[in-house]
Structure 1
Amino acid sequence: MPIIKKSISNRCQEKLEVNNLVTKVSTEFSNRDNFVRNIIYPRKLTVNNLVIKFSNLPKILRWQQEKVMPEIEKTFPGLSSGNYQVIDGSMNKKYNAVAWAIGEQEKDRWWEPDDLGTYYWPHPVPRQDTLEAYTEVFELHGYSRCPGNNENLERGFEKVAIYCKEGKPLHVARQLPDGQWTSKLGEGQCITHKTLASLEGENFGTVYRVLIRPRRKKNR
C-alpha cells in the first residue's frame, strides 16, 4: 500500500530540524550578554557550527510557519486548521495506517500485502492489494461490514473505514470514542480528523467500506 510515504516523512523531518534550530536560537537569546555579543556585534549567531545571520531569523521563522506547517493541508485539501490535529510525538516509520487502525499495540510493524513478503500480513488472508483482502484482515479482529457504510458514532461500537482509489486500498482510518477519526499518514505523523471526507481526494481516493465491532476498552 504505497501511501505518499516519503514526501510527508521528509517534510516532517524538515519541520523537526527547524524546530530544534529555533529552540537553540531562542535559548541563546534568553541570555542578554549572548544577545549583545552574538547578535548586535557581529550580528550573527553560531549554533552547532552553523552561522545564522540575525537578518535571516525572521525568514527561518516565516518558513517554518508558512512552508512546513501547511504541508499536510496542501496534500489533503479537505483538512484545515479547524478540523484536524496532529498527534504530538507520532512521527514513526515503523508502522502504517493499517497498523494504527488495528490498534496502538501494532506500532512496531508495517502491515502491507507486498509480493515479496517484506511486511507483515496476517495468515490466512490472501496477500493481495484488494478491498476484500483488507476487509478480511479486519474481520479477523472482530469487525463486520457496517450497513450503509454508516460513519456516525454508535454507542458501544467502534469503526474503521477503508479508502480506495479505482478499487485499490490506499488508507484506513479508525474511529475514536468521541466520534472523531484518527489516521497515520504514510511514514509521517498521526492525526485526528473530524470527518472521513476530509482525507478523500487524489491521494487516498474515497471511502469504499466502513466496518464495525463492539468497542474494546484498551483500543483508543
Structure 2
Amino acid sequence: MFPAWTNMGCLRYTQRHAKILRPDQHRYIRRFQAAHHWLEPHPDDDEETRWLFQGLPASCGKFRLGDSETIDAHEIFSHIVSWKKRISLRNMYEVYPRKGETWAVFKNWDIGWYRNPESHKAYEFELVEILTDYCCGVGVHVGFLGKIEGFSSIFSRKNSQGMDWGVVLVKERLRFSHRVPSFQMTSNEGLHGIKSFFELDPASL
C-alpha cells in the first residue's frame, strides 16, 4: 500500500496495488504500468462525513476499496504505508500511525474546518514522532519535533507550550496530514549537543 502525490502536490490517497506491468514481461507494453485500486476514506460519524464531503484530506482511519485504474507515472508513488485489513468487513482497511514513525499534523486543526473549507486550504504543519501505537480507545501519544539549526531536514524533540509530548485523541485523528519517511540517528558526540535525531524525507516536508 502506497500514498501517491495528487495533482495538487499533496500526499493524500492511499493505494492498494493489484499488478505491476513491465515491458520486459509483456510484449505489448512499452513502459511501466501499475494496475491498482484507490482507497476511499470511510467516515465514522457525521462530522467526519461533512469533512470528507468538502474535499478535506484524510490520511488515517478506515478506508474502503474504491475504483481501479492503470497508471504509467511511477514517480507519483511516495513510500510504503503500514496497514491492517478489517477481517469483519470486506474490502475495508485501516491506516493509523505506528510507534517510531514520524508524521505531519495540521497546525491549529479543528474538525469545524468543513464549515468554511476554502479558508483552510493553505495548510501549516507541525512534525511529530509517534511514541505509541494507535489505541482505538485513547488515540496516540506524540513527541513534538523541531528543526536543528543549520540543517534543512534534520529534526529533534522540542518543547511545545512547555511540553515535549502530547496526545492526539481518537476524535482528532483527521489532524494527521501524512506520514513523513525518516531515519532515526544517534551520535555519541551529539549534534549541537543532541544525541538522538531524525533525518526526514525532504520531499514530504
Q: TM-score band (shorter)?
A: under 0.3
TM-score computed with the length of structure 1 as normaliser: 0.24
Larger relative helix fraction = 1
Which is greater in Rg? 1
Task: Say which structure, 1 or 2, has more relative contact order (CA 8 Å, 6+ apart).
Answer: 1
